Structures are given as structure tokens and as C-alpha cells.
Amino acid sequence: MNASATRLEASASNVANALTNGPVPQTPPNRPVARSDDPRSVYQPVDVVQVSTGSGTMARFTERLPAYELRYQPDAPFADARGMVAAPNVDYAREIADQIASVAAFKANARVFSTASDMARTVIDMKT
């Protein structure tokens, strides 16, 4: 359930920051964008890596690559000499699909938890 919540958090962050364009970074798009205190910097989209452990799964954030794409926006105050800005690599269709899958996985896990609780209660009732 925590992994599903983490995936939903990542997707929500990506959607909320999808229009956060910024100056073209020094790093190429296939490298993570260096963290910056500059509020004009382009948003670094995130994905979630989920791995199996002995007792379930573990999820963690990871940078999405390519991190950004170039867009022509010559009227932006931070556009380069060619009129290009960096736009986060966020695809709304992908994010919606991720959100739907995260909610479905959360509901399925909640139902498993509920069923296990019901079964344990039945076993306890049988013993009394």
C-alpha cells in the first residue's frame, strides 16, 4: 500500500510541475538536472522504482530520464539565444495511467488486508 501511495505521490508531483519550464541546464537531457535553489530552474520529473523484498515491496523515487526537452518559447525571460527553454519530460497520458494503476493497486492491497483480517477473525471465533 505504501508503494502505491509513493507512486501516486510521484505522479501528482509530475503533473503539478509539468508546466515548470526553466532555462536550459548545462547538463544534457539524458542526465538528471542538478538541484538548484533558483526558482526558475526546470522541474526534474520523478519515477518510482519498486523492488520485491522478502516481506513485500519497497518503493523509492528516481529521476526520470530524459529529464527535459527543449521547447521554443522566445518570449520567456530565461530563453536562450535561440529562444529555447527546458520543459520537464512529463506526459499527461502516462501520468493518468500511472495514477489509475496506483489507485487500483492500493484498492487491491486494501482488499487483501481486509480479507486477511476477516479470516483471522473467523479463526479466532472458531477457537472460542
Q: What share of the chain is helix, strand, coil (3-state, %, to 5)?
A: 40, 20, 40
pLDDT at 29 exceeding the cut of 80: yes
Closest to 88 in 3D by CA, of 33, 9, 7, 12: 33
Q: What is the domain partition of the chain in residue ranges?
A: 2-127
pLDDT at 64: 96
Average pLDDT of the segment spanning 19-48: 91
Question: Under a CB-based contact definition with an 8 Å cutoff, are residues 3 and 51 in contact?
Answer: no
pLDDT category of residue 56 using cuts at 50, 70 and 90: confident
Q: Is the pTM of this model over 0.85?
A: no
Closest to 76 in 3D by CA, of 33, 21, 25, 34: 21
Question: Under a CB-based contact definition with an 8 Å cutoff, are residues 68 and 18 in contact?
Answer: no
